[in-house]
Amino acid sequence: MYKYDAIDRQLINQRVDQFRDQVRRWKAGELSDDEFRPLRLQNGLYIQRHAPMFRIAVPYGMLSSDQLRTLGQIAIKYDRGYGHFTTRHNLQLNWPKIEDVPDMMAELAKVEMHAIQTSGNCLRNITTDPFAGVAADEVIDPRPLAEILREWTTFHPEFAFLPRKFKIAISGTREDRAVTWFHDIGLHLQEQNGEVGFRVIVGGGLGRTPIRGQVVREFLPWQHILTYCEAILRVYNRAGRRDNAYKARIKILVQATGIEAFSQQVEAEWAYMKDGPATLTQAEFDRVAAHFGAPDYAKQDEVTLPADQAFAKWVERNTHPHKVPGYAAVTLSLKKHGIAPGDITSEQMAAVADLADQYSFGELRISHEQNIILADVKKSDLHEVWQKAKAAGLATPNIGLLTGIICCPGGDFCDLANAKSIPIANAIQARFDDLDYLFDIGEIDLNISGCMNACGHHHVGHIGVLGVDKNDSEFYQVTLGGRQGNDAKLGKVIGPSFAAEEMPDVVDKIIKVYIENRHADERFLDTLDRIGIDPFKNRVYEGRAHGKAKAAQQEAA
Amino acid sequence: MAQLIKNNSATVDTWQTLQLGEGETPETVALPAGDVIFPLAVWQARKAEIISCHKRIGLLIQPDERVEDIAADLEYFIVIAVNFPKFVDGRGYSTASLLRQRYAYQGELRAVGDVLHDQLFFMQRVGFDSYALKDGKNLVHAIEAGFKPFSDAYQASTSQPQPYFRRRA
């Protein structure tokens, strides 16, 4: 993976000094709260419900074992011994002290990590496919260009105060695993007539106004990626709305302008920059790409995996095909039933770091589904890895299944949330705790967000759950049919929202309709697409009072 | 009166900025004598008059005003002031980049308005060379530390047209 050189190290060390001075000036009253807010946000520091929250970047999801160990140690020393992985390659600590954050940043800098631009109205962390470099369906490894983009986004002088946050995702596989259709800029690496380039998608996003992105340029040779992004950002920085934070994302501008006119504006801007000094060179690409060379794979004989049923289930769900014969990518599940999805303790971080050292070249990745990937495990080691992962509580075989829920921290922690999300996830996990049943139900994405900001990606869950606030009570709206990938689309709301305690029953009814109607080889989504949402809706709302009847019931109660 | 930083030191500002009072319009406002920074609308409405009676002319650009509209007039201006009504309004950075990089404006480029210590580094990189630091802020510390929190940068910009990757040894 990428190793810092002198300038990378120098910049993050100087960032620590800069933030230390900013905290000092804020404490001394030289910076007002309003003046300090964007500065701390651009260092990942929020003021939350109970305490500050500190969001650490894991650029494009890559971590070394040393880095993960350090994260675990920092969580013990400055927090409560655990952290939370988000859907955008970040680790969040929920209980630090503001005064400690400069020291935490200094410790992170020692292992080439930072919290730069993990929040605020600026260019955010670049995200990609957790199987980058090893996926069997990969066309081009996106990581060198993701690193080049990371450097370009870091302290960009023109785009540090955008109308709103700006997220870029990049994918290099046939099947999109980076939610590129729902980012401010989504990039698909592809080859055309022997030339490598990007399909550039713009104006996607989830949140309050979920919109699928649109293609702004079908093919852009890779050398032009920085100038082209500058052109998009300049158009957005100048024309994006600043009068209303809810309408300030680039997706609103693209909708208002129309993709054709927007594309013309970008092209006109780009014409001035094209082939200028910011055009990438082969030498720079090669310098960065050299950091992402294949590890020293051993030639493997065909292995027969032990015929242990529990192990076989784990292999089925928690391993992913690898482009090198004899290897597999392993997903360590952070979705153990009853635990907040995405949470990991410092002890577990240390255990995962050891697993990475012993079995996967000392590297690991964070997925947007909030799990950890060991990308390069020998198949002959799988049984050992499984046993050790199980001992660490990281081997729940539920990847891609109903209880492998994507979930934001919700109202238990987050200031923005309208409702709690973790207890809903845990209640659904408790209801579907039978592994045989879970496997029988098969592949299904259930995503939960505690508010319309959609950090839990509920819009693209096959079943999406959104926490809403009604008269100071928490309710949950359910959507069906959302999906990520090449055919990414938004789920449809099935009807009025539910109380928290109803949610396991609601999910249960949805699952029963699927099981009763499915054909032999159909996954949940296939059945849903074939029969439509009405049968699900009817079952869920069967016998449920609506409108006047409901009001009368409430009155009686 | 804001404190002006120029060439890394505190400077006395000799310019006055014309402000439209209530009921005044760009067409009717009285044009003061001396070194005046004119709002863009006044410049557009009274260009000939301003040129005939002012040797040293300044221009004030608001975030929503387009550089393109005055690109042909740049030779008239000794100073262009770009207003930041709030420091989180980042449009002025694009205005400055365009003035310097696309339209090759060579005169003084001044950041005015909500200009704070922690934005000076970015402002300098997009091409500002004078800064009207907000009243009440620590001028000495801003001059000492505001411009160089970082000793280099990755991107191409006005102050460094070559991105770092083209300057690697």
So what's the pLDDT on residue A550? 65
For A157, the closest of B88, B93, B137 (CB atoms) is B93
Instruction: Please list, in sequence order, all residues whose beta carbon lies within 8 angstroms of the beta carbon of residue A397, skipping any fewer than 6 positions away.
Output: A310, A313, A314, A316, A317, A318, A333, A435
Chain B residue with the nearest C-alpha to that of A273 = B102
Q: Cβ B161–A277 below 8 Å, yes or no? A: yes
Task: List, edge to edge, every strand of the sheet that includes A45-47.
Answer: A45-47, A52-57, A90-93, A82-85, A343-345
Q: Cβ A14–B157 below 8 Å, yes or no? A: no
Is A270 found in the same domain as A351?
no
CA–centroid distance for B55 within its chain: 19
* C-beta of residue A241 within 8 angstroms of C-beta of residue A248: yes
Chain A residue with the nearest C-alpha to that of B163 = A278
Domain end (from A225, A258, A288)? A288
So what's the pLDDT on residue A435? 94
**CA-to-CA dists, residue A540 to A342, A511, A524, angstroms:** 29, 10, 16
Residue in A491, A425, A503, A420 with CA at minimum distance from that of residue A459:
A491
For B88, the closest of A18, A31, A161 (CB atoms) is A161
Is A214 found in the same domain as A137?
yes
A-chain CB neighbours of B125 within 8 Å are 157
**Half-sphere exposure of residue A194, counting CA atoms within 13 Å on the CB side?**
0
Q: Provide ipTM, 2 decimals.
A: 0.97
Which domain covers residue A101, as residue numbers? 6-110
Q: How far apart are CA A212 and CA A234, in angstroms?
A: 21
Instruction: Please list, in sequence order, all residues whose beta carbon lies within 8 angstroms of the beta carbon of residue A5, skipping any fewer than 6 positions away.
Output: none
What CATH code is carried by the domain that includes residue B137? 3.40.50
In a domain, A1, yes or no: no
What's the total number of domains in chain A? 4
For B155, the closest of A157, A162, A234 (CB atoms) is A157
B-facing residues of A in 14-43 (CB < 8 A) are 14-15, 17-18, 21-22, 25, 30-31, 35, 38-39
Q: Cβ A162–B168 below 8 Å, yes or no? A: no
**Half-sphere exposure of residue A177, counting CA atoms within 13 Å on the CB side?**
23
Q: Cβ B151–A10 below 8 Å, yes or no? A: yes
**CA-to-CA dists, residue A27 to A218, A341, B17, B34, angstroms:** 50, 35, 35, 43
What CATH code is carried by the domain that includes residue A175? 3.30.413.10
Query: What six digits make up the tokens of A145?
Result: 């260009």
Q: How far apart are CA A228 and CA A226, in angstroms?
A: 5
Does residue B20 carry a pLDDT above 80? Answer: yes
A-chain CB neighbours of B126 within 8 Å are 157-158
Q: Cβ A155–B88 below 8 Å, yes or no? A: no
Mutation test of the interface with chain B: which of A40, A238, A250, choosing the one with the most B Cβ atoms within 10 A?
A238
Instruction: Please list, in sequence order, all residues whose beta carbon lies within 8 angstroms of the beta carbon of residue A6, skipping any fewer than 6 positions away.
Output: none
Is A512 found in the same domain as A465?
yes
Residue for token pair 């960009």: A156
What CATH code is carried by the domain that includes residue A50? 3.30.70
Is A53 found in the same domain as A175?
no
Task: Compute the average pLDDT of residues B116-127.
Answer: 98
A-facing residues of B in 86-145 (CB < 8 A) are 87-91, 93-94, 97, 102, 116-119, 121-123, 125-126, 137-138, 145
Q: Walk along chain A (557 residues) and give the pLDDT tens digit of each residue.
A: 999 999 999 999 999 999 999 999 999 999 999 999 999 999 999 987 777 999 999 999 999 999 999 999 999 999 999 999 999 999 999 999 999 999 999 999 999 999 999 999 999 999 999 999 999 889 999 999 999 999 999 999 999 999 999 999 999 998 899 999 999 999 999 999 999 999 999 999 999 899 999 999 999 999 999 999 999 999 999 999 999 999 999 999 999 999 999 999 999 999 999 999 999 999 999 999 999 999 999 998 888 999 899 999 999 999 999 999 999 999 999 999 999 999 999 999 999 999 999 999 999 999 999 999 999 999 999 999 999 999 999 999 999 999 999 999 999 988 889 999 999 999 999 999 999 999 999 999 999 999 999 999 999 999 999 999 988 899 999 999 999 999 999 999 999 999 999 999 999 999 999 999 999 999 999 999 999 999 999 999 998 866 555 666 666 65
Is A521 found in the same domain as A427?
yes
Residue for token pair 């001396």: B34
Is A413 found in the same domain as A366?
no
CA torsion sign, A249 to A251 to A257 to A263?
A: positive
* C-beta of residue B46 within 8 angstroms of C-beta of residue B26: yes
Is A101 found in the same domain as A53?
yes
For B102, the closest of A10, A154, A272 (CB atoms) is A272
- What one-letter code names the amino acid at A257? T
A168 phi/psi in degrees, rounded to 5: -120, 130
Burial A391-423 (b: 16+ CB within 10 A, else e): ebbbbbbbbbbbbbbbbbbbbebbebbbbbbbb
So what's the pLDDT on residue A546? 64
Residue by residue, DSSP assigns B110-147 as EEEES--GGGHHHHHHHT--EEEEPTTS-HHHHHHHTT
**B167 interfaces chain A, CB cutoff of 8 Å:** no
In a domain, A234, yes or no: yes
Does residue B112 carry a pLDDT above 60? Answer: yes
Q: Cβ B157–A157 below 8 Å, yes or no? A: yes
B-chain CB neighbours of A22 within 8 Å are 118
Query: What six digits make up the tokens of B18?
Result: 């014309």
In a domain, A368, yes or no: yes
A329 phi/psi in degrees, rounded to 5: -95, 130
Is A459 found in the same domain as A386?
no
For B149, the closest of A14, A157, A284 (CB atoms) is A14
Q: Cβ B90–A237 below 8 Å, yes or no? A: yes
In a domain, A120, yes or no: no
Residue for token pair 């500050």: A52
B-facing residues of A in 273-332 (CB < 8 A) are 276-278, 280-281, 283-284, 287
Query: What six digits make up the tokens of A106?
Result: 């200094």
Chain B residue with the nearest C-alpha to that of A159 = B90
In a domain, A433, yes or no: yes
Task: Compute the average pLDDT of residues B36-65.
Answer: 97
Q: How far apart are CA A52 and CA A96, in angstroms?
A: 6
Mutation test of the interface with chain A: which of B88, B114, B144, choosing the one with the most A Cβ atoms within 10 A?
B88
* C-beta of residue B88 within 8 angstroms of C-beta of residue B57: no
Which domain covers residue B156, as residue numbers? 3-167
Residue in A190, A265, A186 with CA at minimum distance from that of residue A221:
A190
So what's the pLDDT on residue A557? 59
Count of A–B CB contacts within 8 Å? 103
| CA of A161 vs chain B CAs: smallest distance (Å) | 5
* C-beta of residue A108 within 8 angstroms of C-beta of residue A93: no
Residue in A396, A423, A389 with CA at minimum distance from that of residue A336:
A396
Chain A residue with the nearest C-alpha to that of B102 = A272
Residue in A171, A85, A145 with CA at minimum distance from that of residue A368:
A85
Alpha-carbon radius of gyration of chain B: 17
Query: What six digits make up the tokens of A250?
Result: 């680039």
Residue in A164, A125, A156, A181 with CA at minimum distance from that of residue A252:
A164
Q: Cβ A21–B145 below 8 Å, yes or no? A: yes
For A160, the closest of B97, B122, B168 (CB atoms) is B122
* C-beta of residue B31 within 8 angstroms of C-beta of residue B49: yes
Q: Compute the mean pLDDT over every residue in chain B, rounded to the nearest whole number.
A: 96
Q: Cβ A160–B93 below 8 Å, yes or no? A: yes
Is A281 found in the same domain as A148?
yes
Query: What six digits make up the tokens of A535?
Result: 């049968």
In a domain, A495, yes or no: yes
What's the total number of domains in chain B? 1
Is A241 found in the same domain as A164?
yes
* C-beta of residue A446 within 8 angstroms of C-beta of residue A461: yes
Q: How far apart are CA A34 and CA A47, in angstroms?
A: 13
A-chain CB neighbours of B90 within 8 Å are 158-162, 237
Q: Cβ A151–B88 below 8 Å, yes or no? A: no
